[in-house]
Amino acid sequence: MNKLFAETYACLMTPEPDAKAACAVALWQQWQAGRLLMDEATPVVPVGEPGRPDKPQLVAPGKVERRRLSTPQGQAALIHSLAHIEFNAINLALDAVYRFRALPPDFYGDWLRVAAEEALHFTLLRDHLRTRGYDYGDFNAHNGLWETALKTAHDPLVRMALVPRLLEARGLDVTPAISARLAASGDRKAVEILAIIQHDETGHVAIGNRWYGYLCAQRGIDPMTTFFDLLREYDAPALRPPFNMEARAQAGFSAGELEMLKTLAAGSVV
């Protein structure tokens, strides 16, 4: 039997992207086979930065290359940005497994599954990028997702609120438009990959909603009120339309939350 938290930490700190992706898949397979032991004695070592390659160079969001889809380089830059999101998503899922303890076993199984699926998404996008003559690291990128991981490192409820329920749910909103732009540019393979990602990410947001609801119930607090309080407390990005209501409903957002989003889409912003 391998130790879940020690193995997850090793994977989280693996710098080479393909090796990290393979490790995430292997961890999920080990969990499914019952070969990972939840060893609570393994201490939580603070993770300031996960394992990552020397490239891409991390810059401020405004310094990331513009992605004009009228050029092959612009199309590649967009695919690269999507691959970078998925690489970071592997790290965030692994971090959730490693960092947060004393939760039900299903929590760890859920996030190991997410890490494995994010690894698949990264691999699909990187392989496609390579067919276009580029590779992961050829464009610069920003570190916003991991910075959110650090902001939410102290509390799984805050992590569930601000990563799957906010940032990943935003991906459900914007992916259809990105897919349409790539289709217009003639990149059918990228459109196929994004369809896989959209399907899986709906499940990932649902997992975030599940554990957010669980943690709110454990603490006896109202999920909807708490969510909006956390957005203000952590100065999170504003909720702005367009919203993918169908995908959000599939991902488990409540009827009250969907009504609130409709109100925002009609002109108000939180």
Tell me the pLDDT tens digit for each residue of 115-137.
999 999 999 999 999 999 999 99
Tell me the pLDDT tens digit for each residue of 151-204.
999 999 999 999 999 999 999 999 999 999 999 999 999 999 999 999 999 999
Tell me the pLDDT tens digit for each residue of 108-120.
999 999 999 999 9
Nearest CA to 243 out of 270, 216, 224, 223 is that of 270
259's tokens: 């009504």
What pLDDT was estimated at residue 155? 98
In the chain, domain spans? 1-43+50-144, 152-270
What pLDDT was estimated at residue 267? 60
What pLDDT was estimated at residue 139? 95
Alpha-carbon span 249 to 243, nearest angstrom: 11
What pLDDT was estimated at residue 270? 45
Helix (H, G, I), strand (E, B) or coil at 3: strand
209's tokens: 């909603």
Nearest CA to 130 out of 186, 190, 185 is that of 190
What pLDDT was estimated at residue 64? 82
Left if phi > 0, otherwise alpha if psi is -120 to 50, otherwise beta: which for 113?
Answer: alpha
176 burial (CB, 10 Å; 0-12 / 13-18 / 19+) is middle
What pLDDT was estimated at residue 5? 96
Alpha-carbon span 69 to 66, nearest angstrom: 9
Tell me the pLDDT tens digit for each residue of 58-106.
998 887 877 678 899 999 999 999 999 999 999 999 999 999 999 999 9
The pTM score is 0.95
- Average pLDDT, whole number, for the chain? 94
Instruction: Please tell me which residue, 86 or 239, carries the higher pLDDT value.
Output: 86
